[in-house]
Structure 1
Amino acid sequence: MAHNQAHELENPLEKDFKHNWVNSSSFLFYLQVFCILAFVLGGCFGLYSNRYKGKGKVTVPESTQYTPKYK
């Protein structure tokens, strides 16, 4: 039992983020994937919420149409 505790205290750098490149690189990879996914989904939602709603009712004077009608 004492041997296990001594081993845990002997290598505290194994759990450190800066010294354990395997854990830190996988964490940074998943963080990068999550951030890119969040930005893409946020952009898609922004485009969806400001989408083109269709033609509106616009009154065009008869004198400015393709075949104008004059009085």
Structure 2
Amino acid sequence: MDLQQEYREELEKVQDRDFTHSWVSSSAFLFYLSVFCLLAFVLGTCGKLYTQRYDNQKVDKVHVQESTKYTPEYK
């Protein structure tokens, strides 16, 4: 009898520490994991946009037809 009682106690200890058996600890872990992933995604996207930001000098190189301007110039 004593061996079975020890086995049950040990099994309860393992299940308390196990990720799949404790809903409270698993939900908190998944919440913080999702917050971290979202934050990493946002910071990574902002960093990529900052390193490849729009260059204003490219605007001058674009050719616009004279007839499509705000004040069109026809020939």
Q: Does TM, scored on the shorter chain, surpass 0.5? A: yes
Could you tell me which residue of structure 2 aligns to residue 53 of structure 1?
A: 55
Partner residue of 1:37? Answer: 39
Alpha-carbon deviation of 1:10? 4.5
What TM-score does the superposition give when structure 1 sets the normalisation length? 0.64
Which blocks of at least 5 consecutive residues in structure 1 are unaligned? 1-5
Structure 2 gap ranges (5+): 1-5, 67-71
Return structure 1 stretches of 4+ with deviation > 3 angstroms: none
* 2:22 aligns with one of 6, 20, 26: 20
In 2, Cα distance between equivalents of 1:15 and 1:22:
11
Figure out how many residues of one structure are paired with residues of the other and give that number.
57
Aligned CA RMSD, in angstroms, stands at 2.5
- Per-residue deviation at 1:53? 2.6
TM-score (norm 2): 0.61
Instruction: Give the structure with the larger helix fraction.
Output: 2
Q: Which deviations, in whole Å up to 9, do the C-alpha atoms of 1:5-44 show, x marking residues without a partner? A: x585241201100000100000000000000000000000
Query: The residue matched to 2:31 in structure 1 has which SS?
Result: helix
